[in-house]
Amino acid sequence: MPATPVPESGPAAIESGSVCPACGEHGTEGAAYCEGCGARLTGPTPEPANAENPQTETAADRGGARSCPSCGAAGAVGGDGYCIECGMLATRERDHIEIDASTPGLPAAAVTDRGLRHHRNEDAVWLVTRPRCGDVVVADGVSSSFDPDVASALAVETAGTILGQDTGPDVVTRAIAAAAAAVAALASEGDPRRRTSNPACTIVAATVRDGVITCGWAGDSRAYWVPDSGEAAQLTTDDSWVTAAIRQGTDPAAAWADRRAHAITAWLGADAGTVDPHVTSLTPAGPGLLVVCSDGLWNYLTGLAEFAAAVREHAGRAAGGPAPMLALTRSLTEYAVASGGQDNITVAALRLGG
């Protein structure tokens, strides 16, 4: 029976309504705040003051049950998530999310983290496993676009849902196509600024079906196969300026030094044109790790050998302890943060072959 996503190991996309409860703004799926009025969309719903509901103070003005993690004031976190004393936002759910989606025979986990330099996490991850089946999707919002965090959350949710429901051939291609259409549609709904700088993101989606990995992508988020022994493989080829330049004969060192190096040449979004995802398959000969990540990690481990060595080292350290897959993804994330944390970091790992 084709299983549906398991809630407790479910998607990292933030669940929220498509309409802001405070101002009625549409098209805010995945956003932690309404772009129309700034109201917090997740967590406790604020009680807005309005004509039907006039009051001398709103829930936002009063403290609640939670104490402020910034200034320590007891019970000071108000209905809108801000501390009524120091004004700091208590937490943002997407800043750091961990998923342990292990099922017997397919241990799997993922971590997504804001990093150090970005004000919010614009990466999103979807990870679901069923017996002998795994679905993983990573999307990285394009920072220069408007609402890239909304784009990435919608992309992983749309693609992930299709991977979980659809078992036919070319499911990866169809999942990415659906995500592309959903992200492209964002430009014409919600905040008018989306029209001039449409929401955009990368995507990499991979399935594991009875030991066969199928992987599709657009952009520079990557998937690797790191076997316990033998040569590792990068399953994806970045859709980026540097990759194209090297392919055309530019000296790799010079290409990487170019300021355009990281510019991507394929993405999801209204300005992306027809998205024609690359798809590749691999049937591993032995046990190993499927690792899917955003450039927040691989930027610190650009070479394949370097990347594989780091994965093996961190996996080796995590192997003895509890929840080894979560420990692995967590420690790879910490490695990227310790290396500078310049970008949002997302890493998902699935262990195949026992």
Partner 1 sequence: MPYTAETFQNEYLPDGGTEVNAIVTVTSTPDGPVAAGATSVIIVDCSGSMETGGRIAAAKAAARAAIACIRDGVRFAIIAGAGQAQQIFPQTGTLAVASPQTRDQATAAVGRLEARGRTAIGSWLTEAAGLFAQRPGDICHAILLTDGENGEQAGELEAVLQRVGGTFQCDCRGVGTDWVVAELRKVAAALLGTVDIVADPAGLTADFEAMMTAAMGKVAADVRLKVWTPVNSSVRFVKQVEPTVADLTGKRTEDGPRAGLYPTGSWAAESRDYHVCVDVRAGQVGDEMLAARVSVVEGGTVYAQSLIRAVWTGDAALSTRINKQVAHYTGQAELAQVIQEGLEARKAGDDGTATLKLGRAVRLAAESGNAETAGLLAAVVDIEDAATGTVRLKKRVAAADEMALDTRSTKTVRVGRAK
Q: Which of 19, 42, 44, 85 binds partner 1 (CB under 8 A)?
A: 85
Distance CA 99, CA 12 (A): 8
CB 115 → partner 1: shortest distance, Å? 8
The crossing angle, in degrees rounded to 10, of helices 171-185 and 148-165 is 150
The reply to whether 82 sits near partner 1 by the rule CB under 8 A is yes
Residue pair 137/207 in contact (Cβ under 8 Å)? The answer is no
Q: State which of positions 271-330 bind partner 1 (CB under 8 A).
A: none
Report the residue count for the chain: 354
User: In which residue are the tokens 């609402």 written?
Assistant: 147
Q: 230 and 183 in contact (C-beta within 8 Å)? A: no
Please choose, from the candidates 119, 182, 193, the residue with its C-alpha nearest in 3D space to the C-alpha of residue 153.
182
Name the token pair of 72. Answer: 């320590």
SS3 state at 203: strand
**What token pair was written down for 147?**
């609402």
- The yes or no reply on residue 144 touching partner 1 (CB under 8 A) is yes
Distance CA 79, CA 67 (A): 12
Identify which of residues 148 and 269 has a Cβ nearer to partner 1 in the complex.
148
322: number of Cβ within 10 Å: 7
Does 259 bind partner 1 (CB under 8 A)? Our answer is no
- Name which of residues 42 to 81 contact partner 1 (CB under 8 A): 48-51, 54-58, 60-61, 70-71, 80
**Smallest distance from partner 1 to CB 38, Å:** 4
Shortest distance, position 189 Cβ to partner 1, whole Å: 19
State which amino acid sits at residue 100: D
For the CB of residue 230, give the shortest distance to partner 1 in the complex, in Å: 40
Minimum CB–partner distance for residue 94 and partner 1 (Å): 12
If binding is defined by CB under 8 A, does position 38 make contact with partner 1?
Answer: yes
x/- binding map, residues 106-125, to partner 1, per CB under 8 A? --------x-xxxxx-----
Give contact residues for partner 1 (rule: CB under 8 A).
37-39, 48-51, 54-58, 60-61, 70-71, 80, 82-83, 85-89, 92, 95, 114, 116-120, 143-144
